[in-house]
Amino acid sequence: MSELAIQSAEAITGDLPDMPIEPSWIQEGTPVARGTVLVQSADKMLSSGLWSCTAGKFRWEFGWDEFVHVLEGGATITEEGGAVHTLGPGDTAHFPRGLVAHWHVQDHIRKAFTIRTPEPFVL
């Protein structure tokens, strides 16, 4: 039996490490994405961290379930089916695995995320 323990991470200030958007997904501008996983479950199928992005438009294919909480800035996100969601500071959303969405980050966005992956997410 594995030992149970709380994981924690220090507050992060400044720029996050590069976590680039797939170049073929970028539709407009030159969005710069940065992010990091801060904590993970023992089986590496549940991960939580921070992500930020500068202005631009891009397509995103969710290969996992993702919950987000917007900390700064915001984005307008359009599902391929046409539903439009505008997220700003304090907003929380769930993006189901398999969803394809188009993001429009007007200025910047910084969010906390938690993802549940179908396979271990090895860093």
Query: What ranges do the domains of the chain cover?
Result: 23-116
C-alpha span between 73 and 52 (Å, rounded): 9
Q: Do the Cβ atoms of 96 and 52 come closer than 8 Å?
A: no
Burial of 66 (0-12, 13-18, 19+ CB in 10 A): buried
- pLDDT of 1 above 70: no
Nearest in space to 93 (alpha carbons), one of 108, 112, 73: 112
Q: What is the pLDDT of residues 59-118, one digit of tens each?
A: 999 999 999 999 999 999 999 989 999 999 999 999 999 999 999 999 999 999 999 999
The model's pLDDT over 6-28, given as tens digits with 9 standing for 90+, comes to 999 998 988 999 999 999 999 99
DSSP 62-87: -SSEEEEEEEEE-EEEEETTS-EEEE
pLDDT of residue 3: 81
Q: Which CATH superfamily is domain 23-116 in?
A: Jelly Rolls (2.60.120.10)
Is the whole model's pTM more than 0.85, yes or no? yes
pLDDT for the residue 2: 62
For tokens 């992010």, the residue is: 35
